[in-house]
Structure formats: structure tokens, C-alpha cells
Structure 1
Amino acid sequence: MRTTLWLLSFCLIGACTTSSKTENTSMETPEKGTFGYDLDFLQKRDHDVAVLSSDDSTSQVIVSAKYQGKVFTSTADGMSGRSFGWVHYKAFDGQPDAHMNAYGGENRLWLGPEGAQYSLFFKPGAKMEFEQWHTPPAFDTEPWHVTSKTAQSVVMDKDMILTNYAGTTLQLKIDRSVTLLSREEAASRLNTSLANNVKLVGYQTDNSITNSGSTAWTPKTGAPCLWMLDMFVPSPGVTIVIPYEEQATGNVATTDYFGQIPPDRVTYKNGVLYFKADGKSRGKLGIPPKRAKPIAGSYDADNNVLTLTLFDVDKNATYLNQEWKLVPDPLKGDVVNAYNDGPLADGSQMGPFYEIESVSPAAFLKPAEKLTHKHAVFHFTGEKSQLDAIAQKTLGVSLDTIQKALK
């Protein structure tokens, strides 16, 4: 009897010890910079956050309808893998910002234009300066609605009523879906082959705007556009790469959105533009429709990460000017943009982060008409030689060329 009781006691103690170890392990805080850390952080602020996942859980994407349908981040290597999106942790606490609540996110949907005669960020007649600049709450702070969700996709929508700088009231509906792509789908979209040990995560966003009002949007009333912005984590070794049409006429790029970008930070040659994205010097550039190609990317040499974005481009469409001023022709704007964050004049800084952006044509829509813009994001990690093959196939340049472009 004593032997039986001793064995029972031993088993119970052993069971309790094992359970305690499992519980402690599961409660350990993931390392900052990993996907698990960002997921833990975001789930505490959005209990309904969607996590799209591959069958083996290596490729995962975090999407939040509460935070305006943002793709916050992704990983190619599970919970302990690198988190590719920039998350602005400080923005989630405290009072809302009057100008912009920069929660971060490696893919967010805004509506443009930001500036010029049809601006959605300045009230009619307001001076186009920072104190008067306000991001509309509908895509800054208000939650969106989930209409359907699966293990690999989530579909959301949002009804909005906005007023532009021209004084026009725009009644509209946004529909947005985010779909995790399989390895085969990613390779097919990029028209490239992938070595077995290359790790990747890829997803596509389908975004549409519908005129849900009773008045047509015209050059007189002004019109919005869909605007996709991808916020990523910078490092001293990150270079943004934007292929362009070398034979087209006109400027290759506008490089003075926020003052002229220094020549040691941007250059272009042989149909490819290179832009340093270290998060240490604020600058933005844009590629016009005739020059734009439907792809842009970046290479992080410090962490050996290749990022690619694919998006719709219509060279014959009208794109809106987004500069913070009244311009001679508000119907002449850029298609692809890139931004490197850096300190402001007073030394303060929101980031650091960098962005790759794409915009749709102007949505000159009659009532009930719809315009759609697709934008996909891919991240790759693996041996440099394997990533080099992908870069040469998609961007048209080698990783060594990218690394040496601004040296």
C-alpha cells in the first residue's frame, strides 16, 4: 500500500512538474523583431486579428480589420522568424494624433490624393502645411468590417463619406481582400523558379473603390485614387530597387517631394533606380506612368532579405498629383513611390521605416461604377546565390549590383 501511494505521489509530482514547464514555455515573451513578438503585441490590442497561415505554419500574415484593414506584418519562418513589417508600438497608447495615427503595417490602404486641388487631407481653402494636414478618420482610426474569412484569406469593406479640397462630397465604398499565396502561386506570379530551401511569404491584396453616391466624379468635382503603402524595417544595408522604362521620354523620377534627395542616396542607370533606405534621411520619390513598370523591391544586405512588390500599372490612364501645393495640372502624377524616413528639422522622427508605394489611376466613376487596384508583396530569405537568381529574373539586376549602386 505504501509503495502504491509513493508511486502515485511521484507520478502526480512529475505530472505537475511537466505541466508547469509547458506553461512557462508558452508564456515566455517572444524575442523582439520576431513574428511571434508582433503577434503577441497586436493580439492584446485586437482580439479579432486575423492570422493567415500556410499549412506548415511557416508563411504567416497578420491582418487587422480594427486597424483599417492593415496587413501589419508577415513572416517566412513561423513564430520565431523575422517580422518583415514595421509596427509603431508607441502609436497604440495614449491619445489619438490629430494628423495621423501611424500604427505602421507593411501594407495599408489609403485614399489619395494627399495634396493638390483634389486633396483629401486638407479642408477646402486650407493652407497646405503640416498643421492643416489631417488623415481622414475612415482610413486612419475607424474599424473596418470583415465580410468573410478563411485560413488563407480575409475580405473586408468600409463605407466612407469624404470631402475633398475642391469642396466635393464623395460617398464611396471600399472593398479589400488579403490572400496568402502558396509557394507555387508566388513563383507563377513572379514568373520565376524557387530553390527548395528558399523561404518565402507572399500575399496579394485586391482593393476596389465604388462610387456609392448619386453624382459622377469628374475633373471638375475631383476624384480619389486607391493608394497602397508598404512600411518595412530599414537597416544600413537596405536599397530600394525600382525598374523603369529606359526608352520612355520625360523625367525618370521626381526626387524632391520633401526636398531634393542627395545624390549619394539615389541614382539610376540602365533602366533601374536605386534609393538608399536606411531610415536616416527623409526623402520621397515618384515614377511617372510612362516610366513605371509593375514591380519594385528592396534588398537588405545586412539581413539577406529580398522583398518584391507587384502592382497594377496603366500607362495610358490619368494619375493624380499628390504634392502639398496647388499645381498647374492636378491630373499629372506618379504611379510608384518610395519613401525613406529620417529625422525632421527639430530632430524628432516617427520611425525609422521605409516605404514602397503604388497608386491606382484617378477614380473618375459614375454612380455604382467600380475601380480595382491589385498590389502583392513577397519576402524571400535563403542563400544569397538563390536570392540573386530571383532578383535577376524579376528586377533585372544582381544583388551585387544593388549593393554597389550607391557606393
Structure 2
Amino acid sequence: MKNILLPLLVVATLACNSNKKTNETQTTMKAEETFGYDYDFLKKHKDVVLLEQDSMKVAIVGDYQARVMTSSGKGMSGFSYGWINHDVIASGKLTPHMNAFGGEERFWFGPEGGQYSVFFKKGTSFDFANWQTPAEIDTVSYDLVEKQANKAVFTKDMELENYSGTKFKVNLNREISLLSKTDVEKLLGVPLNDVAWVGYQTKNALKNTGTEDWDKSKGVLSIWLLGMMKASPQNTIIIPYQSGKANEINDAYFGKIPAERLVKKDDILFFKADAQSRGKLGVPPQALKPVAGSYDAEHKILTIVQFDYKGETDYVNSMWEIQKNPYKGDAINAYNDGKNDSGSQMGQFYELETSSPAIALKRNETLTHTQRTFHFEGAENTLDTISKKLLGISLSEVPKL
């Protein structure tokens, strides 16, 4: 069995302006913004797996495909980092197209669009009316097979069929674990002094359990991890890329993103993340720098996405059309929610996403995608130091979109 290690995702959320502001945030935070509120809410509706290490908390729901729903760096009374759709969960009803339960890291398969899509049935048009998330990554429960204080392991056998009629039989092993301070400082290259934090890793191993090797001419599956974060009026997605590659950025997934919502400079872009206009963009491997993030100026929340890149060039293409180049897709995506073609909207969130390369797995071969998510709270100068180190930009340079 061959393991293929893929991008590592780091999502770092820093929610303070200074130590004084941290105290102010604690005293003014609404009860429904806390991790404890979300944890108690989830327990009323589903079995919740709680990982704990000191003040770090991570809540996972197996019924939602072993999804990390939210986390905290300050215990039950700390800020709840993930976006959760309380109304949808409380209703107990399933919805068409996609059940937007929320969660700061969920497991999906790519591609979303094109002749090898697993979201559209053969012969249908690529529009929202025909878009349907497969049950295996939407409504199917994953099985908990191991639980420790700081680690949980889930597994699921699945079968899927793409737009071209290719069938896939796979096994997923999803391991979620809290990380130590040593792990975090080594990965980020920054000290964790005077900050509260939580860090966790998910290791997603996808095995081809079918009777045949995969063939790219018939389509392959990719591992796709998506983080749903809380949108706000002053939130800006920040993605550095290789100098001079602005034209390589795909910003037309759901129509061209308006200029007042997206600013592309020579080596970095800024994309408004307020959940007021539906839009998506992607960074292909030829323009890639393995880091992305966002900054919420109102709530003083900085998000960092960091992953290892080993030079792969083939990524599934998720454009909603029959594609000339089905393996010229993106390694990083960012999404801002808003009203869709039907006039409805999923929720007040934005997403930071990474995908594995497109690999034609042989029978019994395994593809592994490991992602790490971090949230930090501290003084503004600490946040600025981390932003400069990882995004290459001072927080004062983030434009007001």
C-alpha cells in the first residue's frame, strides 16, 4: 500500500486586539458565541465527540461525516470558532442540494463540476437545480472506532458514481487529534508566547477498495477539506500567490467577482468575506504559495491556512461545465456565501478550502491528506507578528473592501 502525503491546512484564528481587549471581549461576548453554548446545543441533537487538552476543546459529530463542528482555545467559555447552522440542525429535517450543518472542517470529494463530477447526474445541466451533494458526504454517519482524550478515529466504506458513469468503491479512515505546543511552534515557525490557542490535525486516508485501478480518462476522486468560518462585514480573505500570476487566479466560478469585492495585487489578493454576495475563487498549482488566510477587523480575528506542497500539478477541475482540461483545477479555494440562483442562501459563512492532487489510485492503494487547524487569541502586536511571518503582510495593510 502506498501512502501519498498531501497538503496540510492550518487555520489560525486570533480574536484579540491586546491583553486588555481580550478581557473586554470576554466580558462582552454573547453567550451564544461561546464554545459551551454550541457544545450544549449539539449534544441536544447528536452524539458529540469532545477532544480535550488543557483549555483546548474540539467538538466532532460522527453523524455529520466526522465533521469538526467547532473548537475553542479557552475552554467552554471561550469563543466558538466554527460556523454552525443552528436552525438547520434544530429542525431535524434534511434539505435538497446540500445540508448546510456548518462546521469548521468537513470532508468532501472532488470534483464538484464537469464530466467527472460526483455532484451532478449524467446528462443534467450544470446549474443549482441539478446540483446535489452525495449522501456519503452529506447525510451518512461515519463510525467511531477509537476514542482517546485527545484523539478520535472514524471510518466508512462508500460507493460513488460520477457524471460519466464511473463507479468508485472506497474506504475512508479519518483521524482527528489535538496537537502539542511543540508541534504547533515547529509547524508555524512562531513562538506561542502570551497567546491562548487550540490546534488539531485531521489525517484522511482514502483507499481504493474496488476491483480495478482508477483511470484518469474516466475520472478520479480527490480529497477536499472545507472550513466554514463566521462571516462579518469587515472580514477579508487574504491569499498570497506567486508574483506576476494574478491572471492565473480563477475568480469566475459563479460569475465574475465584482472589483469592489476582490482586489488582486502582484502577489496577493483580498476577497471580501461578509456572506453578502456568492462568489468563489481558486489558486492553481502554477500560481501557488502554500498559505492563505483571512482577517476580521471588527472582531480582531486572524485566520491562517498553511499546507505542505510537494510540486504536484494535476488537480481536479470543479467548474460547472464540460471541461477541456479536467485536471487543471485548484489547490486552494475560497468561497463567500450569498444568494444563489434560486434566491436562497445557505448561511452567514465563508470558506477556506484545500484539495489533494488528482491521483489515479491503483487497487488497494491509499491517498492521504493531512490538514491542521489552529486558532490563537492574543494581543494585536502578536497577531501582526504572525501575519507578517505567515502571510507576508501587516494587518494595517489589509484594505477595507
**Superposition deviation, residue 347 in structure 1:** 4.5
Counterpart-to-counterpart distance in 2, 1:372 and 1:294: 17
Match of 1:231 in 2: 228
Find out whether 1:269 has 2:265 as its counterpart. yes
Match of 1:180 in 2: 178
1:142-153 to 2 correspondences below 5 Å:
142-153=140-151
SS of 2:367's partner is strand
One-letter code aligned to 1:90: D
One-letter code aligned to 2:173: D
Match of 2:95 in 1: 97
Counterpart-to-counterpart distance in 2, 1:107 and 1:353: 13
**Superposition deviation, residue 406 in structure 1:** 4.0
* Equivalences, count: 371
1:281-300 to 2 correspondences below 5 Å:
281-300=277-296
One-letter code aligned to 1:36: G
**Superposition deviation, residue 138 in structure 1:** 1.0
Match of 1:165 in 2: 163
* Percent identity for Structure 1 against Structure 2: 45
1:80 alignment partner, one of 54, 77, 84: 77
**Superposition deviation, residue 341 in structure 1:** 0.9
Q: Residues 164, 174 of structure 1: CA spacing in aligned structure 2 closer, same or farther, 3 A cutoff?
A: same
- Contact 2:169–2:210, Cα closer than 8 Å, also in 1: yes
Counterpart-to-counterpart distance in 1, 2:265 and 2:291: 17
Deviation >6 Å, runs of 4+: none
For structure 2, the 5+ residue unaligned runs are: 1-29
Find out whether 1:385 has 2:384 as its counterpart. no
Find out whether 1:65 has 2:62 as its counterpart. yes
Counterpart-to-counterpart distance in 1, 2:67 and 2:157: 16
Counterpart-to-counterpart distance in 2, 1:70 and 1:387: 27
- Contact 1:338–1:355, Cα closer than 8 Å, also in 2: yes
One-letter code aligned to 2:37: Y
Q: Which deviates the most, 346-355 or 279-288?
A: 346-355
2:123 alignment partner, one of 117, 122, 125: 125
- Contact 2:172–2:206, Cα closer than 8 Å, also in 1: yes
- Contact 2:246–2:265, Cα closer than 8 Å, also in 1: no
One-letter code aligned to 1:382: G
TM-score normalised by L of structure 2: 0.89
Q: Which deviates the most, 356-365 or 336-345?
A: 336-345
Match of 2:152 in 1: 154
Match of 1:43 in 2: 43
**Superposition deviation, residue 107 in structure 1:** 0.2
- Contact 2:174–2:205, Cα closer than 8 Å, also in 1: yes
Counterpart-to-counterpart distance in 2, 1:260 and 1:346: 18
**Superposition deviation, residue 313 in structure 1:** 2.9
- Contact 1:305–1:379, Cα closer than 8 Å, also in 2: no
One-letter code aligned to 1:220: S
Q: Residues 140, 227 of structure 1: CA spacing in aligned structure 2 closer, same or farther, 3 A cutoff?
A: same
Deviations 1:18-52 (A, max 9, x none): xxxxxxxxxxxx811110110001111123x1111
**Superposition deviation, residue 334 in structure 1:** 0.8
**Superposition deviation, residue 315 in structure 1:** 3.1
SS of 2:346's partner is coil
SS of 2:389's partner is helix
Deviations 1:2-25 (A, max 9, x none): xxxxxxxxxxxxxxxxxxxxxxxx
Q: Residues 59, 270 of structure 1: CA spacing in aligned structure 2 closer, same or farther, 3 A cutoff?
A: farther
Counterpart-to-counterpart distance in 1, 2:57 and 2:266: 36
